[in-house]
Amino acid sequence: MSETREMGMSKGNAKKRWMTGAALAVVALAGAALVARGRTAPRAEGAIGLPLPAGTPVVAAQWTRRAAYWRAPGEVRARQQAVVAARVSGYITAMRAHLGDRVRAGQVLAVLATPQAGQQVRAAAAAVAAAQAQRAAAERQLAAARAQAALAASTYRRYAQLRAEQAVSPYEMEQVATARQSRQALAAAARAQLQAAAAQLGRARAGLAQSEIAAGYGRVRAPFAGRITARPAAVGDLAMPGQPLYKVAGAVGSKLRVSVPDRELRWIHLGERVRVTGGGAGDGASAGRWATVRRMAPASDAATHMAVVELRLPAGGGWRPGAFATAAFPLAATRQLWLPSGAVLRAGGLSEVYVVNRQRRAELRWVRTGGEAGGQVEILAGLTGNETVVAAPRELAAGGAGEAALAAGGAAPEGANGHE
């Protein structure tokens, strides 16, 4: 039993020694490969301080309060824009506006061949002419009926006077009264016929107006003054009702439409001025221009939890509808740690600085960086704010690369694996 146990232990120790040797061999091969390729292994933080030559520029890391901004990308849109579509079916015979053209309100943009609409107009015009003829005939008939009714009334009055003098018989008087009533009935019928003819003429005219409107849809017009931003149709295409022919952007100004998360809405207020960058081809597109918050959606999208905010962009500036721009909404001032950009080195996805210790040696320190502005970079982690940092560490790091390579295998602290 004891011999068997000793044999098992010896085999286990041999296996461990073999695995240790293999691991060392792998490390050695990796180091040799790095050296062969001219690369240096990651430097261990604070492992070896590099000598600091006299006159090396340094900078103190200090906390400062700076205004912070929340940036939201959005799309530039014309404040007045429309999709001009066909309202009747027909082949496109002319496209009178081109991409980028400036157009007037009511200007004809396209012409559609609508033969059926033309036939309807001609038929409606013929119906109007027939109704007018009927009305004219009814008017003549009414005039004749009125004249006969007036004559019958005059005859009745004369016979009534003669009857009072006993000059005519009752039978003759009754015949005159009957004739008067007949003429009055004919006049009333003529008036009714005239009214019917007038109503028919009104309907015919309404039908003509409707046909002319439908025929007018064959001439597509600009809804307002602006510029053509899209022309998806061409001459010869068969246009159907609702098919887009043009897109027009009005000349009354531009706006920026951004989507803002619910948690950031508290920083945004109607009427405040916001700096906007991008969104145009003007000289000030990159430098930024000021916009005004004009509208905020009263509710957020249930799926994305984002709310729409519209900003009125200043006139001019070459704003391009459809271009992307970024609005920087001001936040409350925060306590931030900033260093000159030249004091931060980036290697292998890591950001590092050299901190001067009490022995006047430069020690490596990994940091996590944030945004950059004005030649400075924000330090989010890795420094406390009381350090002195080498201002131009690139030459120092190159000179000490051989010494730092001895510290291979150091691990970066949590939160220092690249800039934000």
CATH: 3.50.50.60, 3.40.47.10, 2.40.30.170, 2.40.10.170. Which one for 72-77+250-333?
2.40.30.170
Average pLDDT, the chain: 78
Sign, CA torsion 95/98/99/102: negative
Query: Around Cβ 324, how many Cβ atoms within 10 Å?
Result: 12
Mean pLDDT, to the nearest integer, of 113-141? 90
Indicate the Cα dihedral angle 206, 209, 215, 221, nearest 10°. -130
Q: Which residue type is seen at 78?
A: A
Q: Are the C-beta atoms of residues 371 and 411 closer than 8 Å to each other?
A: no
Tokens 């286990």 correspond to what residue? 12
Residue 22 CA, distance from chain mean position: 61
**CA 94, CA 357: separation in Å to the nearest integer?**
80
Indicate the Cα dihedral angle 394, 398, 400, 404, nearest 10°. 90
Tokens 């991409």 correspond to what residue? 99
Q: Are the C-beta atoms of residues 203 and 90 closer than 8 Å to each other?
A: no
Model confidence, pTM: 0.52
Mean pLDDT, to the nearest integer, of 264-281? 82
Query: Of 30-39, 134-143, 307-316, 384-393, where does mean pLDDT reach its minimum?
Result: 30-39
Confidence of residue 281 (pLDDT cuts 50, 70, 90): low
The CATH architecture assigned to 40-66+334-420 reads: Beta Barrel (2.40)
Query: Of 59-63, 171-175, 195-199, 393-397, where does mean pLDDT reach its minimum?
Result: 393-397
- Whether the pLDDT of residue 126 is over 80: the answer is yes
Helices (H), 261-389: none
Topology classification of domain 84-108+221-248:
OB fold (Dihydrolipoamide Acetyltransferase, E2P) (2.40.50)
Q: Are the C-beta atoms of residues 255 and 294 closer than 8 Å to each other?
A: yes
Could you report the per-residue pLDDT of 397-406, keeping only the tens digit for each? 665 544 443 3
112 Cβ contact partners less than 8 Å away, ≥ 6 residues apart: 86, 88, 90, 91, 92, 93, 217, 218, 219, 220, 239
**CA 206, CA 209: separation in Å to the nearest integer?**
5
Could you report the per-residue pLDDT of 134-185, keeping only the tens digit for each? 999 999 999 999 999 999 999 989 888 888 888 888 888 889 899 999 999 9
Length of the chain: 420
**CA 172, CA 153: separation in Å to the nearest integer?**
15
